[in-house]
Amino acid sequence: MRYEIIVPARSLRDIENLVELPIDAFYAGIHGWSRSARSHELSFEELRVLRDITYSNNKKLYLSFNTIVGSFEYDSACKLLLNIMERISPDALILNDVSLVSFSVKRGWEVHVSLGGVIINSKDVEFWSDIGVTRIVVSPHLGIEEIEELLNVNENIEVMIYGVRCNFTYTGICRMSSYFDLVMRTTLTRFMIWEGSSKRSGICFKPCAQEWLYNNERLKIEPLSYMCYNVAQLASIGVKYFKIGGRGLSFSNLKEVVYTLKALLEGGKGGRICTFNTC
């Protein structure tokens, strides 16, 4: 296969429509352990159903388990990963916690480092590759030349071709939500979830985009934008893995992005995906 298109699976409700799209793989998160809104995560049983649907349609399934674990939850995370790999058996795990990456690669599981790893230079790629990671998802803030440099170290670079990018920090390292929206609760699969903590759970409540009072004037900053890459350029430097981000995208929008990306990869006119916002 010359390239792979990866899309989010946020629920089972629209999975029958998603499998009809010209895509190659899904990524999905399990409740309490992925960098997404809780409403866009799946239960253990839902993931088993998703696995059966994807495999029967010749698609791949990547499980997002990209949370940084505390010392009190490491053992629980490892037990859950063992259960997932035994009973669900996804094609790869998407991780960013070094301890969980080490635990997983030692067992021969395929591991992809997520955006939470904040890979922005060739030494970062060398570090994760030496540990045994198969694929690396790079920060959406990188330029074409920077991505090409990373490909020289590891050819399995995955690019977030479409999604939401914060203009104030590298995706995956913002701590502002932790100070504004910290809420803790317990689920069946996780002893404690830090709902507002970007550090642990990756949830962003966009406090920087709220209305601020500055010098007695109200200031509204909108740091989020749909990013655009030149698809033809990415393909020309050797990028093979194209991820569409945003588990909050409607099916119609996701469908439009998929078909646009597919056309560009197969030599269609133009080069950028810019369907809803101006580049």
Confidence (pLDDT) at 256: 86
Residue 82 maps to a domain:
yes
Give the closest residue to 136 by CA, choosing from 156, 118, 109. Answer: 156
Query: Any idea which of 68-72, 126-130, 131-135, 215-219 has the lowest mean pLDDT?
Result: 215-219
Residue 181 maps to a domain:
no
Q: How many angstroms separate the CA atoms of 205 and 197, rounded? A: 9
Residue 219 maps to a domain:
no
Q: How many angstroms separate the CA atoms of 34 and 251, rounded? A: 21
Q: Quick check: helix, strand or coil at residue 245? A: coil
Contact partners, residue 9, CB within 8 Å, separation at least 6: 15, 18, 26, 27, 28, 42, 50, 61
Confidence (pLDDT) at 169: 61
Confidence (pLDDT) at 142: 87
* Domain interval for residue 145: 4-167+224-265
Residue 109 maps to a domain:
yes
Residue 183 maps to a domain:
no
The string of pLDDT tens digits covering residues 90-115 is 999 999 899 999 999 999 999 999 98
Q: Is the pLDDT confidence value at 165 over 50?
A: yes
The string of pLDDT tens digits covering residues 17-43 is 889 899 999 999 888 787 655 557 888
- CA-to-CA dists, residue 113 to 12, 128, 278, angstroms: 25, 8, 30
Q: Are 226 and 162 in contact (CB under 8 A)?
A: yes
Structural domains of the chain, count: 1
Residue 95 maps to a domain:
yes
Token pair belonging to 138: 């790079």
Which range of 2-16, 84-98, 245-259 scores highest in mean pLDDT? It is 84-98
The CATH number that applies at residue 126 is 3.20.20.70
Q: Are 275 and 249 in contact (CB under 8 A)?
A: no
Residue 81 maps to a domain:
yes
Residue 66 maps to a domain:
yes
Mean pLDDT of 64-84: 88
> What percent of the chain lies above the pLDDT cut of 90?
41
The string of pLDDT tens digits covering residues 115-152 is 888 888 999 999 999 999 999 998 778 889 999 999 99
